Structure 1
Amino acid sequence: MSVKRKILKLDPTLVNQIAAGEVVENPSSIVKELMENSIDAGSKVITIDILQGGLELIRVEDDGFGMGPEDALLSIERHATSKIRSLEDFHALTSLGFRGEALAAISSVSRFELKTSDGQEATRVTLTHSEPCARNQGTTIEVRNLFYNVPARKKFQKSPAACASQVRKVVETVAMAHPDIAFSLNGQVYLPTDLKRRIEEILGEHEHELKAKNLYGLFASPSKAGPTRGGQTIYLNRRPIYSPLLSRAVKEAFATRIGVHEHPRFILFLELPPSEVDVNVHPQKKEVRFRDEGNVFRMVRNAIQAIFAGRGDTATPLSFTEPVYNFSETFPTPHFKVEETGFEFVYSDRGLAVILGRFLLVEREKPLFIDLKAAHARLFFESLIMQSPASQVLMVPIEIELKKEEEELAEQLGELGIECRLLKRRLVVDALPPFLEEKHFFEFFQKFLEGKPIEEITTRLIQASPKRYSFEEGMQIWQKVKECKDFYYDPKGNPIFVKICEIDMERFMENHGKIPPSKAADRERH
């Protein structure tokens, strides 16, 4: 018997705790948010201290602008920010933070204390009260006993050692993009220096260097390519981001210098005007959306290809207004021509038929013969690497027993748009991306654990499927695959379509349509 319940407005504290689930994943996400606040405040020295991987204590201290008493109190209110005033401000954002929800979320799941001074007045703020205090200009934030009031969240945190490793990686990632700032983590100091030296201080030397107005990059030797994207770091306007688009552009530039299933190691800085990028598409601002993806993709790919072609460290600056951070202040800016693809999409293609449930025949100037399984595999692969939102919420979650050594690998599934969680030694899958059917998940997961490349897994799953495509399905797949950046080939490099010429059909008929001489003689006798 169902019970009718009244709709109630949630308590603000509960609202903040729910919001914290998006902003605050672990200690490293807090450190990242607080470091970005310090950078936005114009700090030149940022000191980070942690205990028990940040689960017991996170302290971030800076020498930035600081805040007066009123702003200090407002700073822990949800959606209180100094970065934006209207929707139009989103198109001109140069700050790392802007939503005004980080401190509210952090303070709702920890013992929180803020001390700040604008150079005139110093204020101490906790979740329950505020009072004057003594402090030089700048801000200190202490976060103690993280998730003390949300035991379910605390239970899913990694070990203190693993959390400490994540924090160190975040500090190094942010420090690389801001060589003019001194950073310290538990006494390990990164002194101010130039960009290249800061990168080499953290990552070591790289073989190839790219220098341009909108681009700067360091690339490891192709011989050091790895099986995953773990050795790739990408910044947009000095903000660390995850971008399958840019990763794919770099890999395409490396071409045959690395294996099909290998990924280059690199660090790449890209600068674009804020109006060309939407940074408000991910709760932690890890992902962005480019206004002109094709232009950005070609610029990055062609710039790196130019290095390998021996044309020097070259890149064409995008035809935008002046970037936020101009690498040409340090490096000269050569030029090269961006090449366009020679294939023209025709969205009015007239489908003629699906043959054998697999091949679509499309009429245009020269008819196309399309392998629907290859096209389907390309869509499946793009869905995974672009982290398409999980759209298949499972009626009954999938549960899989894991070995200890499989737990960390299983966590990488989240990067493929698969909504899952670890529950003790079990992987619980709640939702799948559009092109991964529930009946195929176990095979997918097994090959994933075996270390098979995603390109191979997706292609094999589709090719092995007994599915036969209807005409309507075939046309829908063809229209969608034409929107992919890499529409010529499936993930393993097999062609998706071929053009059919009259001479090809004549040769086919000559080779396969002739009656064998013995059968021809039999016909004449009868």
Structure 2
Amino acid sequence: MAKIQRLDAHLTNMIAAGEVVERPSGVIKELVENAIDAHASKIQIHVRQGGIEEMMIVDDGDGMSAQDATLAFERHATSKIKDVKDLWKISTMGFRGEALPSISSVSHVELKTNDGTDGTLVEISYGKTLQAKPIGTPKGTQITVKNLFQRTPARFKHLRSASYEFSLISDVIQKFALAYPNISFSLFHDDKMVFQSNGNGNIQEVLMLIYGREVAKAAIEVQGKDNDYAIDGYAVQPFQTRATKYYMLFFINNRMIRSYRLQKAIMDAYSPYIPSGRYPIVVLHINMDPQLVDVNVHPSKWEVRFSKEKQLEFLIKETLQEALRDKMEVNRVVKQEKLEVEMPTFQFEEVKKPVVPVYQNVESETITPKVAEPTVVYEKPTLPKEEIVEEIPVQEEVVDVIVQSSPEVQKAEPAKVKNPSFPTMRALAQLQKAYILAEGEDGLYIIDQHAAQERYNFEVIKQKVLAGVKDQQDLLVPITLTSTLQAIQSVDALNQKLEPLGIQFEVFGDTSFVVRSIPTWLIYIDEQAFLQDMVDYYIKNEEVDIESLRKHALATMACHSSIRFNRSLSLPEMQQVISDLEHCEQPFHCPHGRPTFLKYTMKDLEKSFLRVK
């Protein structure tokens, strides 16, 4: 007797439902995609108990004829593709013909549809057709799904609370609203409207509805293209970040997707501007020839494959870098005692003795304080605004040490042109020997003296060290690294990639490397750990991101050579810190992504003192 047998249609539909329909949000996604393919301009989503009890999608799209309405519930029945050639140039959301039969096999489904000529009702309960008959209904389609997974206990028990399931549905609908700003989406939960987009085509307005006014105001419009791809969308200023990576959204030909590699391209573009552990808010629409992308990877259609993925990654990174470089704004304190960015917290110690601040009159006559330990000192600057003061010794000291062996590098000079985006500031005082207070035309600025000098030193060192330096330092005691057999066997490829850095590994035994000389710019950091990181990175990725590794080394040197907290600065020295910063190519963040200064606008101050009605 044969052991292999053909499964019946109902059982195959239930098996397929395990991939297509994982939870209520998956049902919503499939049904909304059908409404979009039907050219709907308004889509309403009604949900009860997080979709576990009931979900209803109502659209004003094309609708279906009586014949199509019944055929749509048969497996692999679709109007989206007709032959093999269509599979390689898919431009619709749906195409597999699996969603409706899969959904109807694990729930009770009622479909009402009208194509402008006839209305039809189709009712199916857990794979069994109950009725199909004419009915009076408005043009478009209304589909109701009830009691999802009630007869599949193994799947039903994995559903979570109604509030959690609804949060996933809400997230999907908001992504649809960003992908299709020209469609009006209305989401109801237990008869209460919780989200509605206008469908006027304004993505920034949708951003405001989802993330709030401050995020929408901080959004930068981005555009880029090459021979194969066109990118448009919005990238939010780096002072508005999130704790997870799920705010980086991609839409390929308006299809929402997930892509780790595209997320990494965004993070690479934002890395100079945000701290570790924070993630940007980015919405990108990517348009391309459908033949360059394979959407037939998984039934859920979240994953795709690109023919030229590295090219797309490069375009995304380059487009975002250009937008951020040209449109960067100052980190702003938007609410009193609540910052929109991660930064060190001001620590004010209790003063047990009475403190009299030192004030100066207009003739610069100082009143001697009764107590000699003021926490904040206000001084009138002794130099004109544009006069250049003596440079802080700590900066020149590190640069001289690094470049002393290379006359060619000594010719390199930091930029002298003021960054056009940098505001004009005048130093006022130092707070807690850590922060510089300065005034500008539109408010108060608070400068992190260490982060500011770290950024300046990083750019000076980078310009001098990377200006063609080839100097090597022979090591009296070679560096030995223990690695894997995979790395040992790939030593030639590894050395080829590291040759521009002047780093070469020699095989030393079965599982070890030895390095006999290193570039001079590497001797001021933990070179053994740095070299070990490069080998480990190569093993994991089979490539070495030389720029990132080199940047890490330079950032470490810049950090160690910068002004520390708890160091008193004179007023000219404070002004010099500001002057150095304004001549940086990117003055808004230190090399680790932390902000160098914040702005408290006059409007913010007026609100804090209740002067704004």
TM-score by length of 2: 0.53
Per the alignment, residue 150 of structure 2 pairs with 148
Q: In structure 2, which of residues 293, 296, 302 is the aligned counterpart of residue 286 of structure 1?
A: 302
**Cα displacement (A) at 1:280:** 1.2
Report the equivalent of 2:351.
none
Instruction: Work out which of the residue numbers 71, 83, 87 in structure 1 matches 2:80.
Output: 83
Deviations 1:139-161 (CA, angstroms, capped at 9, x unpaired): 11110010011011111101111
Q: Which amino acid aligns with 2:211?
A: L
Moved more, 231-240 or 141-150: 231-240
Corresponding residue to 1:362 among 451, 468, 492: 492
The 8 Å contact of residues 218 and 240 in structure 2, kept in 1 or not, is answered as no
State the partner residue of 1:310.
Answer: 326
Residue 486 to residue 133, structure 1, CA distance change in 2 (3 Å): farther
Using the alignment, how far apart are the partners of 2:183 and 2:318 within structure 1? 32
1:16 maps to which of 13, 18, 28: 13
Quote the residue 1:43 is aligned against. 40
Q: Which residue of 1 aligns with 2:54?
A: 57
Which residue number in structure 1 is paired with residue 457 of structure 2?
Answer: none
1:201 maps onto 2:209 in alignment: yes
Partners of 2:7 and 2:549 lie apart in 1 by 48
Cα distance change of structure 1 residues 124 and 307 upon mapping to structure 2, 3 Å threshold:
same
Q: What is the total number of aligned residue pairs between the two structures?
A: 352
> What is the CA-CA distance between 1:208 and the residue it aligns to?
4.0
1:167 and 1:72, CA in 2 relative to 1: closer, same or farther beyond 3 A?
A: same
* Equivalent residues in 2 for 1:73-152, closer than 5 Å: 73-127=70-124, 128=129, 129-152=131-154
Larger Rg: 2
RMSD: 3.3
Contact kept in structure 2, 1:251 and 1:263, CA below 8 Å: yes
The offset of 1:192, in angstroms, is: 1.9
CA distance in 2, matches of 1:371, 1:80: 60
Q: 1:305 to 1:103 in 2, by over 3 A?
A: same
Of the two structures, which has the highest relative contact order with CA contacts closer than 8 Å and spacing of 6 or more? 2
Give CA deviations for 1:227-252 in whole Å, capped at 9, x if unaligned: 42032222111111111111111111
Distance in 1 of aligned mates of 2:86 and 2:240: 42
Counterpart for residue 514 of structure 2: none
1:269 aligns with 2:276: no
- Paired with 2:138 and 2:327, the residues of 1 have a C-alpha distance of 52
Q: Which residue of 1 aligns with 2:313?
A: 297
Distance 1:371-1:291 versus aligned 2 partners, 3 A rule = farther
Q: Secondary structure at the match of 1:198?
A: helix
CA–CA distance in structure 2, aligned partners of residues 27 and 493 of structure 1: 44
Give the CA deviation at 1:41.
0.2
Q: Equivalents in 2 of 1:199, 1:17: separation in Å?
A: 38
Question: Shift in Å at residue 199 of structure 1?
Answer: 2.5
For residue 190 of structure 1, what is the aligned residue in structure 2?
197
| TM-score (normalizing by structure 1) | 0.61
CA contact (8 A) 2:231 2:284 kept: yes
2:222 partner letter? K
Contact 1:226 1:265 in 2 (8 A): yes
Partner Cα separation in structure 1 for residue 156 and residue 223 of structure 2: 45
Residue among 220, 237, 250 paired with 2:266: 250
Instruction: Give me the whole-angstrom Cα distance separating, in 1, the residues matched to 2:150 and 2:134.
Output: 27
The residue type paired with residue 192 of structure 1 is G
Q: For the residues of structure 1 that align with 2:134 and 2:278, how far apart are their CA atoms?
A: 57
1:481, CA displacement in angstroms?
A: 3.8
CA–CA distance in structure 2, aligned partners of residues 103 and 288 of structure 1: 22
* Contact 1:22-1:283 at 8 Å conserved across structures: yes
Compared CA separation, residues 48 and 485, structure 1 to 2 (3 A): farther
Cα–Cα, structure 1 residues 161 and 305, in superposed 2: closer, same or farther, change >3 Å? Answer: same
What CA deviation, in whole Å up to 9, does each residue of 1:108-147 have, x standing for no partner?
A: 0001111111111111112213111111221111100100
Question: 1:453-498 deviations in whole A, cap 9, x for unaligned?
Answer: xxxxxxx9xx89xxxxxxxxx99x969844x584776899689xxx
Whole-angstrom CA distance in 1 between matches of 2:545 and 2:94:
33
> Per the alignment, do residues 17 and 493 of structure 1 end up closer, same or farther by CA in structure 2, a change over 3 Å counting?
farther
Residues 164, 227 of structure 1: alpha-carbon distance in 2 compared, 3 angstrom cutoff: closer
Aligned mates of 1:486, 1:277 — CA distance in 2: 26
Are the counterparts in 2 of residues 206 and 218 from structure 1 also a CA contact under 8 Å?
no
Q: Cα offset for 1:26?
A: 0.9
Q: What SS does the aligned partner of 1:79 have? A: coil
Letter in 2 for 1:238: N
Letter in 2 for 1:270: I
Q: Read off the aligned partner of 2:16 and give its amino acid letter.
A: A
The answer as to whether partners of 2:174 and 2:210 remain within 8 angstroms in 1 is yes
CA contact (8 A) 1:32 1:170 kept: yes
Paired amino acid for 2:163: A
Q: For residues 9 and 175 of structure 2, what CA distance do their matches in structure 1 show?
A: 33
CA–CA separation in structure 2 for the residues paired with 1:237 and 1:370: 49
The aligned counterpart of 1:167 is 169
Q: 1:5 to 1:488 in 2, by over 3 A?
A: farther
Q: Is the 8 A contact 2:150 2:156 kept in 1?
A: yes
**Equivalents in 1 of 2:506, 2:26: separation in Å?**
45
User: Partners in 1 of 2:538 and 2:149 — Cα distance?
Assistant: 48
Work out whether 1:210 is the aligned partner of 2:210.
no
How far apart, in 1, do the equivalents of 2:265 and 2:277 lie?
A: 15
Opposite residue 27 of structure 2, the aligned amino acid is: I
| Superposed CA offset, 1:316-374 (max 9, x none) | xxxxxxxxxxxxxxxxxxxxxxxxxxxxxxxxxxxxxx9755463427776842899xx
C-alpha distance after superposition, 1:367-414 (max 9, x if no partner): 842899xxxxxxxxxxxxxxxxxxxxxxxxxxxxxxxxxxxxxxxxxx
Alpha-carbon offset, residue 6 of structure 1? 2.0
User: Is 2:250–2:284's contact at 8 Å kept on the other side of the alignment?
Assistant: yes
Query: SS of the counterpart of 1:256?
Result: coil
Q: Does the C-alpha gap of structure 1 residues 486 and 150 become closer, same or farther in structure 2, counting only changes over 3 Å?
A: farther
- 1-structure distance, mates of 2:29, 2:53: 17
Paired residues of 1:44 and 1:64 also in contact (CA < 8 A): yes
* Aligned partner letter, 1:252: D
